Amino acid sequence: MLSLSAHSMGAIPCVLSEKATDPAQQVVSENFLGDLKDLDTLKAFIQHVDVLTFESEFIDCDLLEKAAGRNTKKIHPSIAAARLLQDRKTQKELLDVAKIPTAPWLLVHDAKAVADAADYLSYPFVLKKRRNGYDGYGTYIFKTKKDLEKWNTKDLSDPHGFIAEKFIPFKRELACIFTRDQKGHVLQFPLVESLQKDARCYWIKGPIQHPQFLTWSKKFSQLLKKINYVGTMGVELFESKDQLIVNELAPRVHNTGHYSSNSLPMSQFDAHLRAVSGMSLPNGSFSHEGFAMVNLLGSEKAPKPQWISPTDAVVHWYGKTENRTGRKMGHINAIGSSPNVALKRAMSALKGFKL
Ligand SMILES: Nc1ncnc2c1ncn2[C@@H]1O[C@H](COP(=O)(O)OP(=O)(O)OP(=O)(O)O)[C@@H](O)[C@H]1O
Ligand SMILES: [Mg+2]
């Protein structure tokens, strides 16, 4: 989606990934196939492009820094910001220092520390991999002591370690996209509600009104300034007793912002590309009556997914070659006179899919 945006903005998108069948490789003419963990591959790619960005935070920041040498200024968000946010420990510290509410947490290294964390946080509590977690892989919720006893502590062997955090009894999950340009303008996208099923985003709808959001987002913009963040960031939130509590930050375009391609004057992808390539963003926020997005989650049952293209919603199909259970294969965007009308439209389009 970033590549498609870049093309329509008049740029020439170049993609570095491992396989020619990767979704982004399918839509660009400048294909660089290679290992993102290989120094020479990274060096050659960085030298070839004017601006470099990433759509996954699972990058090796040390290697990227080494490969970039004097070219680190081409990279947005900066390697420093990526490094800070890709690790839950430093991300949590950043939020705590900025006094932006997030679930209380502590670092855990071994089974004893997990048991101590359970005593300190009390049940239920959550264990999360410090790095490389996604779609719930690397997140474990322990409702009772029995859950913890049943848990295989071998999972603790992840080299980057874990944090334990308090379970937040949320009313609903919310999310918001922010994009900050190089001059410091912050474009704030509408607040949305997201429904997660099996720790995966199932749908989002918006805009959502929340009495604390304006004050909260001003404070959050200050955090973006502090780390001189450039580009789009996804913020996942819990609404609990009318409080906004940060679940996690993602230094990239985000699934909960995909709706923006078909409902706002500027999508999160366009905004990101404008920011990273030095163009300005409008300062402020966008609004729309109602919009929704439903993820198309795969299943092994349909090796060849089929669908009837809806007439009143927009399908974004990623072209992933392997259909796996729960894998994000595409999404549907819809608009309407309210968030619920838009969601109904997107859900009705979903019925035409055999996935
Ligand atoms: N502290 C918490 N309290 C209550 N529920 C939680 C907590 N942390 C995580 N969850 C639930 O687990 C889901 C997945 O957790 P989290 O967002 O941390 O994992 P992830 O794998 O990084 O997800 P993503 O794919 O969004 O990157 C959340 O959306 C939420 O439903
Ligand atoms: Mg999440």
- Average confidence (pLDDT) per 10 residues, the chain, 355 residues: 98 98 97 97 98 95 98 98 98 98 95 93 96 89 92 82 97 98 97 94 97 97 98 98 96 98 97 98 88 95 89 97 94 98 98 94
Position 151 scores a pLDDT of 84
128 CB less than 6 Å from ligand 1? yes
Position 100 scores a pLDDT of 98
Q: Which of 12, 50, 55, 54 is nearest to 31 (CA)?
A: 12
Q: Of the bound ligands, which one is closest to the alpha carbon of residue 166?
A: 1
Q: Which two tokens stand for residue 226?
A: 């502090």
Measured from the Cα of 137, ligand 1's closest atom is 21
Position 303 scores a pLDDT of 79
- How far is ligand 2, taken at its centre, from the CA of residue 45, in Å? 30
Q: Of the bound ligands, which one is closest to the alpha carbon of residue 174?
A: 1
Distances 14 to 4, 7, 349 between C-alpha atoms, Å:
11, 10, 33
2 CB less than 6 Å from ligand 1? no
57 CB less than 6 Å from ligand 1? no
Position 285 scores a pLDDT of 86
- Which of 135, 237, 247 best tests ligand 1's pocket when mutated (most atoms within 8 Å of CB)? 247
222 CB less than 6 Å from ligand 1? no
CA torsion 111→237→299→141, rounded to 10°?
A: 20
23 CB less than 6 Å from ligand 1? no
Collapsing DSSP to helix, strand or coil, 43 comes out as helix
DSSP state of 136: T
134 CB less than 6 Å from ligand 1? yes
Position 206 scores a pLDDT of 98
List, in sequence order, every beta strand (DSSP E) within the chain.
Answer: 14-17, 30-33, 105-108, 125-129, 139-142, 162-166, 172-180, 186-188, 192-197, 200-206, 231-240, 243-250, 284-285, 290-297, 306-307, 314-317, 328-336, 353-354
Q: What is the pTM of this model?
A: 0.96
